[in-house]
Each structure stands twice: as C-alpha cells, then as structure tokens.
Structure 1
Amino acid sequence: MLQKLRFVVLCLFLVQSVSAVPARQTVPTAPRPAWVTTVALPADSKIREGDVSNGYAYALRDYQFHLPSQTRYYRYLRRIFTPEGVQQGSEIEVSYDPTYQKLVFHEARIIRDGKAIDKLEPAKFKIMQQESSKESYIYDGSLQALLILEDVRAGDQIEYAFSVVGSNPIYGGKFAHSFYLGTGEPIDVFSLRIISDEELQAKTLNATLPPAVTRENGRVVYQWYQEHVPGTSYDSDAPSWYNPYPTLFVSGYRSWAEVSAWAIGHYTYPARPGKGLTELIARIKGETSEPAERLEKALQFVQDEIRYTGLEAGIGGYKPRNPADVFGQRFGDCKDKSLLLCYILRELDIEAYPALVNTNDRKGIVDWLPSPNAFNHCVVQVRLGGVYWYDPTMSFQGGSYRNRYFGNLGYALVIRPGTTALTKIEPAQESKTQVEEVFTMDDIGGPVQLAVTTQYYGFEADQARGQFAGNNLKETEKSYLNYTAKTYPQVAVNEPLRYEDDRAGNVFTTYESYEVTNFWVAPDSTRPRELEGSVYPQTLRDKLYPPSTKIRTAPFALDFPLHYEHTIRLDLPKPWIVENEEKEITGPGFRFNLATRYFDKSAIFRYTYQTTQDHVAASPTAEFIRKQDQVINALGYSLTYNQRGTVLPERINWLMVLLGLLGAAGTAWGVKWLYYHYDPEPVVVPSGNDRQIGGLLPLFALFLLTRALLHLVHILGTQYFDWHHWETITSETSVGYNPTQATLLVAQLFYYTAMIGFCGVLVLLLVRRRSSVPNLVAAFYGVSIVWVSLETYLMWDMKIFTGPDWGKNIADLFWLVISGAVWVPYFRFSRRAKETFVETLRVPEGHQQIYRPNY
C-alpha cells in the first residue's frame, strides 16, 4: 500500500509538470520591453578564430533586469567562425520553470554580409521536459525551449534576445544573483543593467568593475559595462571551490543574519506530526534514555529508511516539506530529510538545526555577498557535548555519533535564531584503506597463491558498504577478478569473494583468494632458465595521478582526506637477498613511506600514502610532479631467479667490479709491504729458547680467519655489483636517490677488501711469530672499532636499516670492544707475547741473528 502511495505522489507531480506543456505549445513573441536600452557593439572586434573553442564565440552578452516587474532581459550575439561552429552554435536553448516563469522571445536572426535574416518563427520552437538531474533523483519540472536554426554558415552572426518574466515567490521579492564578467573566451562587450526599487550591494572577485549608479523615475539603476574582455585561462583538475573567472555578486540582502531569518521562516516544524512519526519517536525513547544512542538511532533511520528523491519545482527547490509528510511518503530531498531529522532529535531533547552549505564552492562562499543562492545542499548541526555535523542524505554510514564522516564543506549557514555569520565546519575526516596482499610460493616457477584482505575505515567503509549493497555479489567478484587480471592475466578464483561489516566500528573488510599460474615468467627467451616474478601495489598506483595541465596558474585538487596503506608480503620457498630499507618522500600536499623488511624467508613491502591538504597551489606544481614520479618509481619489486639455484642481480655494475679489483690490488701491495718492510724491533731479544705458538693464540688466529671469511661473504652477498641498485641510489629522479649511501658503499668495498687481506697477513705473521704482530693487533682493533662505529652511525642516519640489522651492527661493535679490551693488552704486555713475537726479516742492530726463515 505504501509503495502504491509513493508511486501515485510521483505520478501526480510529473503529470502536473507535463500539463504545463500542452501539445505543440509555442513560445510567445513580443517587442522588447520599453525600459530596455540598446547596447551597441564596438566597430573593432578583437575576437579571432584562434581565440575560441567549438568554432564560435559570444561577441555580446547583454543582461538587463527590471526588478519591479520581475523581468529579466537577455541579448546575445554569436560569431560563427568555422564549420564546427556551425555544428556547435546553430541551436538556441533557454530553460525556465513554468510554475512561476514565462518565456518571451523578442528576436532571433542571422546577420550575413551586413544583412539581417529573420529566424524568429514561433512554430519552430520545441518545448521539452528537461529533468537533467533525473539520474540524481531530482525532478525540478523545468522546461527547455529549443530553436534549431536553418541555413547557418561559417562567417554568420546569430543574434537573439528574450525575456524571462517572474521570480520564485520563495524570495518574497528579494533579489540576489551572480554574474561572470568574463569566461574562458574573449567577449567584445559585456553589459549588465539592473533597475531596482531599493539599493543593492555589489562585490567583484578577480576583477575591479564598479557600477555606474543613476536614478530614473525614483528607481536606482546600476550599470556595469566593459569592452574587449579577454578570455580567462582555466586549468583542469582544479578544486571545485576555485573560481578563476571575474565574477560579480549583486544582492539585496544586507547580512547573513537576514538570510538566516529568511530561512527560519521556511524551515518550520509541524504542529501535528502524525501518528507514524509520533510512534517512531516514542519507540526510540522507550529503547534508550542515552542521548548519544537516541541520536544514532534517529540518524540511521533518516539516512537508511527515508530515500533520497527531490520534487524541486518552484518553491519546492528551497522550502522543505512538512516532516510528517516526508515520514509518511518515505522520501525527500536534502532539506526534507534534514528538517525531519532535526524535528525527531528535538523531540528526543537533542539540540539540532538545519544548516545550508555549498558542495561545489565549499569554502569559497565566504567571499560572496549574503544570498540564499549561495547554497545547494542542506545538512544538520547537532550540539551534544560538542558540535557535530551530519548529512542525512548519506546512506550506509557507520560508526558512532562522534566519528560519522562529514565532508570538508568549508562553511555553513546554521538556521537558528541568533545566526549572524557563516560557521566554519570542522569536518570529521577519519577514513583509511588498508590493503594486504600475501603471495605464498611453494616452489620457484610454480603457481602462486594470492590472498587479498582490504579493510576500509570511516568514509571509505561507507563507500564500500554502499557499493556492496547496490551490486550483485557475483558481479562484484567478477569485477575484482578482472582487476587482478590486469596484472596477472592467468588468475583464477580460489574461494568466493566474501566480506565482513562492522558497522558500529565502521570497518568494512573484503577477502579475496586467487591462484596465479603465470607469476613466474622468463623475460628473455634466449635464457629460459632465468625467471622473474613481480609484485606491484596497483590499488595505490590508482590513487596517484599527475595534473593533466602541468604548467598551471590554478591550484591542483587532491583527494583529501586520503590515507592509503598497501602491504605486500612474499612468503618465499627459500632464503632471498632483500635489503631492509625505509624510504620517505614528502611533497606538496602529501607524504609517502616505503618500509621494506626481510626475515625468515618473508619479504614485506609496506607502502603508506597520505594527502595533507585538499589542493596544491600552482607554484609548487613542478615539485609535486617530481615527487610523485619518485613515489611511482618506488612502487613494485621484482624477483629474479636462475633455476640452477642462484639469485641473480639484474645487471652487473662493472665500474664497481673495477673498483673492487683496484681495492684488491691496493690490498695486495699493503700486504706485501707489511710482510717484507714492517719489522719493528722485538721487545725481548731473540734467543734459542723463544716460545712457540700455543695457548690461546690459535684461537685468535681462527677468529681472524673467520672474520676475513665473513667479510668475503658480505661482499659477495650484498648489492655492491648490482647495477639496478646503483642506479636507484645515484639517479636524482629515483625515490632511493642517496649519494651519501653510494659513497659509503664504495668505502665499504675498499674497507672489507683491505680487511680480508689484513686478517690474512696478520694470521701469517702470527704463525711466523713476527715482531710486528702486537702492533698490528692493536691497529686491527682500532681501525675495526672506528669503522663499525662510523658505519653504524651513517646507516642509522640514512635510515638504511632498522630492527635486526641495527642489532647486528651494535652486537658487532660490542664484541670488538670487549675482545679488543682482552687481546690488545695481551699482545702488548703479556710475557708470553713478548717472548713469542720476536722474529724479523732483518737482524736488529747489535743483535745476533738466531733464526731467519728462508722465504
């Protein structure tokens, strides 16, 4: 029964609207009103074909408003430059609301070669029901008068004029309007004339054009006029609130308090709310006495149970319907739903007020003159231990009353007694998306299991909840599968798509499970045993987009607030070489972080991207693009594997190989010098009873050999010779650009190469009981401790490692200090060491050679 009632109400509205369009209705014609003045065109038009789009331009825009008679006169002149202009500019369209307006045409003609061709034929007008917002469930009853001109040619001028008589009675005779003084294309003449019984306020943005004010017959006449208005460049991707065009505001309202008082007169509560609405309020009262719980129940009812449909004809576009009627028909537009919610909350002893906002111009309205036309949407302000904002038209919202998402709408006019100014909105912006992709590999080259878990929080949860509520689950699963197939074409569903909805906490979670059979590929057909597998955070990449207009004068809009986390985990079948690293990029309007971790055959890549504001100013656009490119370059990871069983560098850096060979050559020279030329005099004079190697000395020799082996393993197992790694840290356009790290790697290569040779020669000298050993042991510990300390500090400062790697370096430094504190004094001061390390290659002056090795 209720559904039939809704259908009947909607049909009655549509029938009423259509009834205003009798069959073959024509547009009345008449001479222009007597109060209209003639606006002439300048003789020297400065509009050229290269200045216009679509092949035509408006050379004249003449607006004359007679407020006492509620008549608005419009006159236009189009210049047609090209055949495309003929296609685009040969139709005249005028929209009006038949519930309070009447359209009258005065002229329509083509000017060709200086001669006028009359084209005003009333019978050729077509009157059509417009309903351009039907897809948004808005029905405004407006009509469109269309005149399709015949025989239009390139080079013609089209001149037409008409009047629209009548103004919306909702304004009570008050006037407020805004005008673009210029557009994206040049105009030869812009003229605006307003005749008013009362004085009006005027304000311009992006222009300075004061009116000429005169008086005629006791009325005030305002005139704005300018010639050769240049076109204003507009950059794409600008925020909706950004207006680059010269704009004029004219208003009969003196203050926002006056606009608020106007609204209060129309936002009234019912004296008799009806049985159904009364029972709803009583039920909520009976279910809970907590104001917060009452608020949440009322809000959820209006958001989910009252569908969004607007009948906007005439005053219906501004005056809300009786809350009892809205409750009964179970539909309404933004102002209907807002007033209904406010009424319910007031009956529940919760302070609430409707509030007018602008979803397009948002914070920009703070620079406008007071006017009811500054707004296009209605929301609700609630005061309950704080100030909260709610949009009753947003279905599927979750969370508590404290953290319901509310957009960054800038300013609102709260409809309550005492309002004198716009109120700044502090939006609730708690929203986040977390994606985790887990790739499980049983073997290299085989199929890979992919599990995707996505958690949506706040506004993102509201959006996901609405998407799943409005779509078939199977079709959604198919959409998700095909999205994954963009990266991995050979993918199949393992388990059906499922989701969990924690509406109270406002967390919406989806679970996907796939098998990828083509994860491993052979990129080079000539080397089929070399395999490569790649991962990429595609959902995050989809959130990154550079401005299409890169050289800009306008700000660039950002998706704000955006907090996106994408984690990729690779569970590998065998150990892999993956560097732990942390990268952070901060650019205009955003922050990005990449944390790479490897442990126990698992590689984890955690990407975090956040926007910090809703736009980027024009001046740092180049920096924004450069930083975004760095972020894009940091996304993704490739695994390369040789089926013979080795992990492959993608490309060898031969310069580092050459530096390694040079380091080895230098080390060989140093080893030779230490062995043949460094012979300090022994502390104890050699004798035939000198001690041989024994005690703990073999243990120290084993320590040196182990350390040399570890240094060798480090050189071979680290990306010293990986060309891709070097390109990452040395290219200025790379996210990993770090010249200090590059310098450190070269120093590390030289150090570890030298230490391998040093440990080797020290063991040899120790076995030969050479007198240089005590000094060289002290040098070994001194250099090692200084190097590890410096290396640890630099790597920590550059955030190259954290966690296990940090602990490893600290442990190594600790061991060097402790063992050095034992071995250095032992070799320098113990009697055994003094009596053991006495041999030299030369005979000390004044000493008798007892033993000289034959080498």
Structure 2
Amino acid sequence: MRFFLILLLSLVWQAAANANTAGFSYQQQPVPAWVTTSPTQQARPETSEPVSYLLVDEQINWLNTEPVAYSHIAMQANTRKGVEQASQYQVSFAPEYQQLTFHSIRLTRNGDTKEQLGIADIRLVQREQEHERQIYTGYVTAMVLLSDMQPGDRLDIQYSITGTNPIYGGKRSVYFPLNWSVAVQQLQLRVLSSAEKLAYYSNQAAVIPQQRKLGNHYEYRWQQSDIAAVKAEDNYPQWFMPYDFIEFNEFGRWQDVVAWAMPLYQFNEPLHSELQLLVKTWLAESRSQEDYVAKVVRYVQNDIRYFGIEIGLNSHQPFSPNTVFSRKYGDCKDKTTLMIALLAAGGIKAYPALVSSATRGQIQHRLPGPIAFDHVITYLPLNGQDYWLDGTRSQQYGTLEQKGRQYFQQALLIKEGVTTLTAIPMPSSVDGIIESEERYQLGAVGDPVMLKVAISYQQYEAESFRGMLDQHGLTEYASHLERVYQRQYPGADLVEHPVISDDKQSNQVQVVASFIIDNFWDENEPRQELSLFGDFLERFTQLPKNTRRKMPLYIEPNVRVQHRIHFDLASPIQWQLGDLQLEIDNSGFVYLRQVETSAYSITAVHHYQSKSDHITPEQALDFITAVKKVREAMYFTVVIDKTDPVPEILKDIRQRLSEMLKAAETP
C-alpha cells in the first residue's frame, strides 16, 4: 500500500511537471541540490500582526550559463485578514528569457504538513504594473491561490526563476532588500559565484557577508534574525532610501558599464527621407546652433509620444531613430537616440547619459552596473555650455538654458574614455512660478459680486499646466475651476470659459476667468467677512503626517508662488486693522504677507519661495512649526460693517432730495 501511494504521488508530480495557463507556462520540480535549507522558527504567539513572516531565504547560483534565483518564503496567517493576504501569493517573471519553477507549496496546520503544489490554483496572467507610466515590460505574474487556509496556518512556498536578460552580456547583478515594512524573524541571503572577490555594497556598513570556498567556487552568505519592521515616514525625498539593502554584481567599474552601453546606442543607417527633410528645414530656419537644438528638442518631446516597449533586449537597447520616427512613440532611450541622431544631422555632437530618477545623487554610492540607472537623457556640450536634455519632458518651452536644467545630480556619459560619474549641476534659480490674482468687485449689499481671476504659470509650472490641459481639455478644466470657487462661494458661476494665453517663447501660460457670485452677502448678519485666503500656497504648505522624524522631508525646490487678493468696495471704510505684515523665514522656505488698504479697497498678498529640496530630521520640528504659522497666516479674514458708511455730505444731499419729494406730494 505504501509503495502504491509513493508511485501515485510520483505520477501526479510528473503529470504536473509542466503547467500552462493563458499561453504561459511554469514547471514543477524538486528543490535543486545546490540549495541549502534553513530551519525556521515558529511564529511568536504574542504577535498582533495579520501575518507573521517567519523566513525570507534568497539564494543565487551564478555558476552556470543561466543563473538561477531560488526563494523560500515562510509565513503564518494570524487573522482572517492575514488569511486573505497569505492565501494569494504572487511571483513575477519575464517569460521571454526566464523560466519559473515551483518546488513546493506546503500548508501546515496544528503540526500536520500537506503539500499543496498539485492542488493549488496557479494562474499566469500578464498584468502590466508599469502601464500607468506608459511602459510595457512583458512581465507575467503567477498568482498562487490557496483554498481552505485558516488563521494559525503556516505557508511555505519554494520556487526558482532561471535565466536573465541577455542584454547584460552574461554579466549578473542582484539586489537584496534587508528589511521591509513588516517584521521578519529570519533572513538568509546566499550567492554562489566563481569570483573570489565578488563586488558587493550595502548602505549599512555593518553588513559584511561571510565568504567561504566550496570546491572550485565561492559562497557569499548573510544571515540575520529578528528583523524589525521599518515604518517609512511620509513624504521623504525620492532619493532617500528608507530600507537597508545589499547588492552584488560582476561589472566592476563604471568604464565597464560604458563599454557595455556604447554598442547599444550606435546606429549607422541613414536617416529616413522625411527626417532628412525636417533637418533641412530646421537648419534653414535656424539663426544659430542653439536655435536648431531647440527645434530638435521640441520635436522629440512633443511629436514623439512617450510609450515604452521594454521586453527582453529592449529593456536597455533602444530602437533605431528611423523606427522611433516611423512609430511616433518611444521611451526615454528611444527619444534620446532620435534626439542625438537629429543633432548629429545638424553637425552637433551629443551623448546618451544614464541617470537615476530614484536615487539621483546617491547613485555614486551604488555598485557600477546597469541596474543602478532607470532613465536616459541627452548630454549636449555646445559653445562652452553644458545642456542636459530630457526627451520625455513634454510641453517644455523657453530658452535652451531652461530646457537644460535637470535634478538628477549624477550621470554616466556613454562616451569613449569615460571612467566615472559626471555631476549635473542642480538648478540654482527659481524653476517654477505661479502668480495669481483674485479681484472682487463689491456693489451694494445684496447685489451679486463680480470676481476676476488671473493666473500665470511659468517655466516648469507652465509645462505641468499644458500637460494637464492636453490630457483633460478646456471644458473639464473650466468645470474644475468653477468647483474650486464654489467650495468657498456656493453661488459662484463662470461667466464663460477661461481665456488661456500661451507665450511659449517665455514659457508662460496665462489663465483669465470671470465669475459672478450670487448670495455673496450674509443677509442675516450685520457684518460681512471678506476672505483673504492664500489658497495657491496650499500645495506647498502641507503638514506631514510624521512630525517627529527620523527621515528627511521633501520640499519642492526652486518654487515661487504669489497669491494676491483684492476687494474693491462700493462704500468707504475706515480700516483699523493694525499691522498685518508678516515674514516667516525658515531653512526650507520664506513666507511674506503684505496687506494694503485704502478707503475703497483692501489687498492682501501672500508670497512663498522654497529655499531647499528637503529638510533634515533635525530641522523638522522647527520647519513644521513654521508651516503651521504660515497656514494660520494664509487663512485670515477681515470683517466689515454692512451699514452704509457714506460720507456726511452725501447724507445731506439725500436728506434734501427726500424733503423735496415730500413737498411735491403735499397738496
């Protein structure tokens, strides 16, 4: 009987050795012999988390032509919500060059372990998580759906992914997180390599993997227990890494990455005839090389839409300039290649520059390798000036100097002889400007109020506004603007669609809108509040959720915002407001409030300008205190008396007219 059971299980395993769903496949095989098992602990009974993560075991085998990445994840569901999380496990892989193999899916309940691999519902679906960024990677997700899982059950899942992107030319890189947003009781990382001195880097100096020789190869291992959860604070800068990590790779030096990348950006085919005609036209129209460059940048940014097909080799290999032109779409590397080709056709030499939008200047601490970068721009040295041009930025106008400002901080130039990173100067002047004015015309008490709004978006803010308008259209924007003012004045209605003027030469967009506000006056009160709110500063003066911080706090850099509110009054008022001028100067920003009055008007101006791109944890409390003061200063009102404060001479005239009317009525 026992022999029959073993035979039956063996037949089940073989029958399911290759599974296919939705046109994609995975395999089922035993755990490879090179893997070392790691004993795991039981979940601590006092845990209050929905899921206890007992083991994260990641092992990499670089000894063969095709690398293998093995994973063993163990967890225990503690609550019903935990069951929902643990019973739906996902694994992503690239079927074009990778093979997914499941080794075991075990469910343990009250000490009784049962293999679920043969009965688990495993679906392979192609879900593009990068779709919102207009990038198609071809990744497939294996969804492991377990039935009859209950609180207290333990899940152990073991699988491997074989293969790597051939674009790397046989050189391997791997990145391991060392902590997560949840606690992990045990971690094991292991790399097998033929290299005696395999390059590695961790952002924690104390992390030094153990090395030992195993026959003719080497093992690098890091083990750790009782890893606390990292509670990431809100709104930290993009370049800040809240989690610890370690990475290994075989590239070695930055010049090795340059040597790897240079062939990817070399195309010898002649430009498409239509492109040649464009180049000829642009050269004829241009008064200088800078003028020609501006035309090229404008074309690549606005006429080639952003969409990336990043499958296999094309994760890093751009398509040819002619292909990009014919398709009229491309990702960052495609746009860079087309831009460089068009510049070359005009006699101007430019180069690809690998950058990181995530780590920015922190890239200098990473190991040299392709995975350190996530973006490509164009480096253009021209007439003694350096320009860093991003083909993926649309609606970017203004001067070439403005187009060449970037915030990536470090770049690797794909150019012969380059051996190190190149610094990209951070913009030192204001790069985004918003200037707004609200002008209220008050008539007699009870009459509708006229409101004219004028908004100026300049430089980067103009680009953002153009992009918004291009996506949503004028009608939707008009409805949005009307809703904004109706939140403050429910009786506010747009008189007509906003008038939008776009001065592309100065990179400035002007919006003018007129409203009529019914029910402005509070007829039940003898006094009326006039709101002098600096609403346009709201976006830049948000309070963080985490006030006692261990992580830096992001500030939008190089921004200047001015919001002017003006009320024209029908009757004179003797203002007795005191001194309302205010200045709040902080390491992150400066805020100014100015209030001016005349007999028939009152004007408030709120001014904000950022001074940095982040606040350190040590500066956070002072910064947050300053932001609170700004928010109090932004939202203030003045109160006017609605009784008619007309000068005495006007009262005499009214009295005489009244007496004359009475005399006329007397028989």
After TM superposition, is the score higher than 0.5?
yes
Q: 2 CA distance for matches of 1:274 and 1:497?
A: 42
Q: What are the superposed Cα offsets for residues 493-540 of structure 1, whole Å, 9 maximum, x if unpaired?
A: 223311000011101000010112233325xx5xx3333332322222
> CA, structure 1 residues 530+25, in 2 after alignment: closer, same or farther (shift >3 Å)?
closer
**1:474-485 correspondence runs (5 A):** 474-485=475-486
Corresponding residue number in structure 2 for 1:64: 59
Kindly indicate whether the alpha-carbon contact (under 8 Å) linking 1:47 and 1:187 is maintained by their aligned counterparts in 2. Answer: no
Answer 1 or 2: which has greater helix percent.
Answer: 1
Shift of 1:411: 1.6
Q: 1 CA distance for matches of 2:220 and 2:529?
A: 74
Q: Which amino acid aligns with 1:208?
A: A
Of 202-211 and 364-373, deviating more is 202-211
Q: Which runs of 5+ in 2 are unaligned?
A: 1-18, 647-667
Kindly indicate whether the alpha-carbon contact (under 8 Å) linking 2:264 and 2:317 is maintained by their aligned counterparts in 1. Answer: yes
Corresponding residue number in structure 2 for 1:588: 587
The question of 1:403 aligning with 2:406 is answered no
Kindly indicate whether the alpha-carbon contact (under 8 Å) linking 1:27 and 1:125 is maintained by their aligned counterparts in 2. Answer: no
> CA, structure 1 residues 24+293, in 2 after alignment: closer, same or farther (shift >3 Å)?
closer
Q: What are the superposed Cα offsets for residues 34-65 of structure 1, whole Å, 9 maximum, x if unpaired?
A: 1111111246x558523x3xx11321111111
**1:487-636 correspondence runs (5 A):** 487-522=488-523, 525=524, 528-576=525-573, 577=575, 578-579=577-578, 581-599=580-598, 601-636=600-635
Of 395-404 and 528-537, deviating more is 528-537
Partner secondary structure for residue 49 of structure 1: coil
The question of 1:391 aligning with 2:390 is answered yes
Count residues with an aligned counterpart: 620
Q: Which amino acid aligns with 2:40?
A: L
Q: What are the superposed Cα offsets for residues 584-628 of structure 1, whole Å, 9 maximum, x if unpaired?
A: 101231110011122462322111111111211122222222111
Of 416-425 and 447-456, deviating more is 416-425
Corresponding residue number in structure 2 for 1:363: 361
Q: Which amino acid aligns with 2:60?
A: F
Of 74-83 and 616-625, deviating more is 616-625
Corresponding residue number in structure 1 for 2:462: 461
**1:41-440 correspondence runs (5 A):** 41-42=40-41, 48-50=46-48, 52=49, 55-69=50-64, 70-121=67-118, 124-198=121-195, 199-206=197-204, 208-288=206-286, 290-384=288-382, 385-404=384-403, 406-428=405-427, 430-440=431-441
Q: What are the superposed Cα offsets for residues 764-813 of structure 1, whole Å, 9 maximum, x if unpaired?
A: xxxxxxxxxxxxxxxxxxxxxxxxxxxxxxxxxxxxxxxxxxxxxxxxxx
Q: Which amino acid aligns with 1:64?
A: Q
Q: 1 CA distance for matches of 2:636 and 2:129?
A: 48
Kindly indicate whether the alpha-carbon contact (under 8 Å) linking 1:26 and 1:125 is maintained by their aligned counterparts in 2. Answer: no
Q: Which amino acid aligns with 1:202?
A: Y
**1:700-849 correspondence runs (5 A):** none
Q: Which amino acid aligns with 1:499?
A: I
Q: 2 CA distance for matches of 1:413 and 1:471?
A: 37
Partner secondary structure for residue 182 of structure 2: coil
Corresponding residue number in structure 2 for 1:672: none
TM-score (norm 1): 0.70
TM-score (norm 2): 0.89
Q: Which runs of 5+ in 1 are unaligned?
A: 1-19, 648-855
Shift of 1:122: 6.9
- Identical-pair percentage: 29
Q: Which amino acid aligns with 1:305?
A: D
Answer 1 or 2: which has greater strand percent.
Answer: 2
Shift of 1:642: 2.9
Q: What are the superposed Cα offsets for residues 743-766 of structure 1, whole Å, 9 maximum, x if unpaired?
A: xxxxxxxxxxxxxxxxxxxxxxxx
Corresponding residue number in structure 2 for 1:709: none
Q: 2 CA distance for matches of 1:48 and 1:34?
A: 36
Q: Which amino acid aligns with 1:481?
A: E
Kindly indicate whether the alpha-carbon contact (under 8 Å) linking 1:580 and 1:598 is maintained by their aligned counterparts in 2. Answer: no
> CA, structure 1 residues 529+226, in 2 after alignment: closer, same or farther (shift >3 Å)?
closer
Partner secondary structure for residue 351 of structure 1: coil
Q: Which amino acid aligns with 1:125?
A: I
Shift of 1:555: 1.2
Q: 2 CA distance for matches of 1:242 and 1:291?
A: 38
Shift of 1:297: 0.6
Q: 1 CA distance for matches of 2:426 and 2:505?
A: 20
Kindly indicate whether the alpha-carbon contact (under 8 Å) linking 1:405 and 1:458 is maintained by their aligned counterparts in 2. Answer: no
Shift of 1:207: 5.1
Shift of 1:154: 0.8
Q: What are the superposed Cα offsets for residues 95-115 of structure 1, whole Å, 9 maximum, x if unpaired?
A: 110110000110001111222
Q: 1 CA distance for matches of 2:125 and 2:272?
A: 38
Shift of 1:478: 1.2
> CA, structure 1 residues 322+445, in 2 after alignment: closer, same or farther (shift >3 Å)?
same
Q: 2 CA distance for matches of 1:628 and 1:106?
A: 55
Corresponding residue number in structure 2 for 1:36: 35
Of 254-263 and 290-299, deviating more is 254-263
Q: What are the superposed Cα offsets for residues 347-378 of structure 1, whole Å, 9 maximum, x if unpaired?
A: 21223111111212222222211111011111
Shift of 1:451: 0.6
Q: Which amino acid aligns with 1:263?
A: A
Shift of 1:135: 2.7
Q: 2 CA distance for matches of 1:641 and 1:378?
A: 58
Q: 2 CA distance for matches of 1:147 and 1:109?
A: 12
Q: Which runs of 4+ in 1 moved over 6 A?
A: none
> CA, structure 1 residues 285+501, in 2 after alignment: closer, same or farther (shift >3 Å)?
same
Q: 2 CA distance for matches of 1:47 and 1:374?
A: 41
Partner secondary structure for residue 479 of structure 1: helix
Kindly indicate whether the alpha-carbon contact (under 8 Å) linking 1:358 and 1:377 is maintained by their aligned counterparts in 2. Answer: yes
> CA, structure 1 residues 536+153, in 2 after alignment: closer, same or farther (shift >3 Å)?
same
Q: What are the superposed Cα offsets for residues 635-662 of structure 1, whole Å, 9 maximum, x if unpaired?
A: 2443423343459xxxxxxxxxxxxxxx
Partner secondary structure for residue 402 of structure 2: coil
Of 275-284 and 261-270, deviating more is 275-284
Tell me: higher relative CO, structure 1 or 2? Use CA pairs within 8 A at least 6 residues apart. Answer: 2
